[in-house]
A = this chain, B = another copy of it.
Amino acid sequence: MPAAITEEQTRLDREVLLDAAEHLYYEKGIQAVGMDEVRTASALPLKRIYRLYAAKEDLVVAVLRRRDERWRGQLAAHVEQVGDPRERVLAVFDWLARWFAEPGFRGCAWINAFGELAPSSEAVLAEVRSHKQAFHDQIALWVHDTGLPVAEPVYLLAEGAIVTAAITGTPAPAAHARTAAAALLTAQ
C-alpha cells in the first residue's frame, strides 16, 4: 500500500481548496469560475479536487456552508460582546457597516448564489435558505431579549441594507438601517 494520503492531509487540502474556491466565487461569480481556475488557485490536482468533492455543485455547497459558519460566527462574536439588549441588536448594524466597507465587498454571497443558481440547483437553494433562516433566527433571538416584537422588521432592515450596499457599492445603508432599528426599538 503506497503513497497513502492521511486524514490530516485531506483536511488541509479541503481548507486550501475551499479558501481558493470561496475567494474566486465571491469575486467573479460561481458560474464564471471553472474548475481549472480553482485548480490553479488551489494548486491541487484536479483528481484530488474531485475526490474531495464529487462535483462542482458539492464544492459550491461546501463553500457556502463553511462561509456561513464563519460569517455568522464573526457576527455573533461581535454582537455578543455587548451587554445591553437594545445596544446588542444595534451592534448588528455596526458589524454590517464594517463588512460593507471591506475592500472587495460584493454583497451577500448567498443572495448572489440564489440569483445565479436557484433555478438550476436544488442543493444550492437549500443552502441559501438554511443560511438565511439561521441569520434570521440569530437576530430574532437577540431582539427577543429586548422584549419588543420587532424581530421581523429588524431582520428585513438588515437584508435590505445588505442588498442595497451591494448594488450601490456604498456602506451607507448600514447606518440608515441602524437608525431605523433604533427607532423601532424605542418603545412608544
Contacts and interface: CB of A to CB of B under 8 A. Distances in A.
Interface residues of A, number: 45
A176 B159 contact: no
B166 A152 contact: no
A120 B29 contact: yes
A4 to B, nearest CB: 40
Given A116-B115, A119-B106, A183-B184, A164 B156 contact: yes
A76 interface: no
A160 B155 contact: yes
A117 B167 CA distance: 12
A132 B32 contact: no
A62 interface: no
B29 A111 contact: no
A32 B120 contact: yes
Contact of A156 (B29, B113, B161): B161
Contact of A184 (B32, B111, B184): B184
Interface of A: 27-29, 31-32, 106-107, 110-120, 128-129, 132, 150, 152-153, 155-161, 163-164, 166-168, 173, 176-177, 179-180, 183-184, 186, 188
5 contacts: A112-B115, A152-B179, A159-B163, A160-B161, A184-B184
